[in-house]
Amino acid sequence: MNRLSLIAIACAASTTALGLLTSPAQAVSLGELIESNGTFTDEHLTFSNFNVQYACLDFSNPNATCEDLYEAGHVRPLSAFQIGVGPATTPHGPGIRFNDFFRAEEGYGIDIALSYDVTSTKPIDGIHLSFDAVVDSGQVEIIETASDMSGNVLGQLFADNITGGAFPDLADSDTFDQPVYEFQILKNINLTSEIGTGLSNMTTIDQEYTTPVPEPLTILGSAAALGFGVAFKKEQSRKKSQK
């Protein structure tokens, strides 16, 4: 079943102002970043231009709105202020984490489109996605696209919570053809719980970014050059002391 064909009701949240600039590793809400047109920084990475949109599904009532489903406790989140933003904590590199009690009860669904820009003072050659959804309960699927600032696709990630399916379980990685310093991320987060499949839920989504690893010969060459430089300085110092 095409998840996009199930999404019947849409509501959007994106506002723009000036202001918020977070220090490294300082948690903030996504709503604050959107409202202030703010940035979030983790080590050499800066995240900006955040935007989020929502679409909801009620299998039994096509006229239900996102607000109706949220107020009845069937889906969450429905406000960017409910989503926390902080540094990624898994071991692949610095990055960004989004956290909330993401959920869709049986018979309901919510689709969240989250986008932002990434700039780095170091070259980035890969991305890693992971999340903590309950395995084989409902369906949680994340499809992520990284594009350059002209819209050309650099890499894509696909992961879900269904074991034995076409997508990797709860995590995925991709490597760019060429390192970049600036790019865009579009993260499509879908929680859909058909009747009998159980609750779809998770609390954290981690996104990390990797830098190129120097080739062994490059490392050896740098070490040799450093050693030569030290030896040369010592020789020059010795000659001066003998004068």
List the chain domain ranges: 3-212, 216-243
Distance CA 95, CA 118 (A): 10
Neighbours of 236 (CB within 10 A): 10
Q: How confident is the model at residue 91 (pLDDT cuts 50, 70, 90)?
A: confident
Phi, psi of 5 (to 5 degrees): -75, -15
226-235 mean pLDDT: 50
- Over the chain, what is the mean pLDDT? 84
The whole-angstrom separation of Cα 113 and Cα 161 is: 18
- Measured CA to CA, the distance from residue 189 to residue 100 in angstroms comes to 13
d(CA 46, CA 38): 10
pLDDT of residue 235: 53
